[in-house]
């Protein structure tokens, strides 16, 4: 029980530190998540992006900017805590507890890059097709798209973690 509480405390501390880092970071400080996300978006959409210091990754031909708010850090935090909680039962020793925290961090990072790239690619498609619903502004559609993609990403990630852990939902 003590080891499991340590995992949960470590997860809470890491989540808090990630949130603090994100709040204080400039876009240039988020290269570790924005760069791979942008490469994945570029591969899937064919758009070319160039880093604009202090702004983010800009596609001139699409007039689309991947900026700080596009980093997916909040998704990564939610995914990290969710995976850590889903796997906390495996923490029966100090080494296994460290492995749970490390695996949760790695999985949440990879999921954040992938899910965020999907979200950005969809947002680019919506922007190119001027998709709007009469009662929603473009910003509303963008927000709803982000909520839908992130929620779906968390559900799918949870399902994958449980299946890999040998449990069924």
Instruction: Look at residue 133 and tell me whether its pLDDT is greater than 70.
Output: no
Q: Give residue 23's pLDDT band: very low, low, confident or very high (50, 70, 90).
A: very high
157 and 109 Cβ atoms separated by less than 8 Å = no
Q: pTM for this one?
A: 0.91
The token pair that represents 43 in the structure block: 């591969």
Residue 74 C-alpha from the chain's centroid: 7
Q: What is the pLDDT of residue 137?
A: 78
- As a whole number, mean pLDDT of residues 21-34 equals 96
Mean per-residue pLDDT over the chain, rounded: 93
- As a whole number, mean pLDDT of residues 57-79 equals 95
Q: Could you give the CA distance from residue 95 to residue 97 in angstroms, rounded to a whole number?
A: 5
Instruction: Look at residue 132 and tell me whether its pLDDT is greater than 60.
Output: no
Q: What is the pLDDT of residue 127?
A: 84
């Amino acid at each position: 029980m003590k080891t499991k509480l340590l995992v949960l405390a470590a997860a809470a501390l890491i989540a808090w530190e990630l949130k603090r880092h994100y709040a204080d970071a400039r876009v240039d400080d988020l290269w570790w998540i924005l760069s791979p996300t942008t490469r994945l978006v570029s591969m899937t959409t064919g758009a070319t992006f160039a880093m604009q210091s202090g702004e983010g990754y800009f596609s001139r031909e699409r007039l689309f900017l991947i900026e700080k708010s596009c980093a997916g850090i909040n998704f990564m935090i939610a995914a990290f805590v969710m995976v850590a909680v889903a796997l906390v039962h495996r923490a029966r020793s100090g080494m296994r507890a460290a492995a749970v925290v490390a695996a949760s961090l790695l999985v949440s990072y990879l999921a954040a890059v992938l899910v965020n790239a999907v979200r950005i690619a969809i947002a680019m498609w919506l922007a190119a097709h001027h998709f709007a619903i009469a009662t929603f502004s473009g910003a509303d559609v963008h927000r709803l798209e982000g909520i839908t993609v992130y929620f779906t990403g968390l559900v799918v990630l949870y399902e994958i973690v449980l299946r890999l852990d040998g449990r069924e939902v």
